[in-house]
Amino acid sequence: MFSRVEYPTFAGTNVPRDFVEYPSQVNEMWAAWPEVVRNYAKHYKTGEPMPESLLEKMVATRKFNQGFETTEYLKATLLDQAWHTLKPDQVPTDVPSFEAATFRRYGADFDPVPPRYRSPYFAHVFYIGYSAGYYAYIWSDVLVADSIEWFRRHGGLSRANGAHFRETVLSHGDSVEPITLFREFTGGDLEIGPLLSLRGLDETGN
């Protein structure tokens, strides 16, 4: 809808797999933005908006169990990469041993947190287009968290901020290198800190 590109094949979501989730996930953040919540989260009898204290509690639940969930997901991405960097003559016949060796290699052999998927049913990476690309989810999360931080620093929900996001990211599709679009939007390089903070995995744990 916002694309301004010369060739339609570069418009909209026709972007690399590890960038396609980014714009929509940025827009999802508004669902929990206080100014937006007040417009739709109202008591069904009184019409009173949801108390901010309740909203804060709901948002805080997003950090629950993130240590487990993030580790579980990352083990699956490592397994994906391990399969797709094999040469034809290296394909193993002992799958459990291959998985175990992969996790040991990357220091991820932590039995209390198994991978999200085991190889025999890892459908994402063997036949629906995510081959060697399962990492795209968390890469998008890194981009999103950094972008949320940008909005917070620049005043949150405003026409000027929305127009800036539209002009630097939403309008280009794949006509510009994705990381270039991100840098044009935020004005800097990608940082991991906002994602760790968003998940409660930074030093403060808050």
**For the chain, domain boundaries:** 16-63+136-192, 66-127
Is residue 138 within 8 A of residue 73, CB to CB? The reply is yes
Confidence class for position 18, pLDDT limits 50, 70, 90:
confident
Q: 160-172 burial string, b = 16+ CB within 10 Å, else e?
A: eeeebbbebbbbb
Q: Residue 193: pLDDT band by 50, 70, 90 thresholds?
A: very high
With a pLDDT cut of 70, the percent of the chain lying above it is: 99
Q: Is the dihedral of CA 140, 145, 151, 156 positive or negative?
A: positive
pLDDT band at residue 126 using 50, 70 and 90 as cut-offs: confident
Q: Above 90 in pLDDT, residue 124?
A: no
Per-residue DSSP letter, 29: G
Question: For 36-52, what is the mean pLDDT?
Answer: 93
Task: Report DSSP state, residue 169.
Answer: I
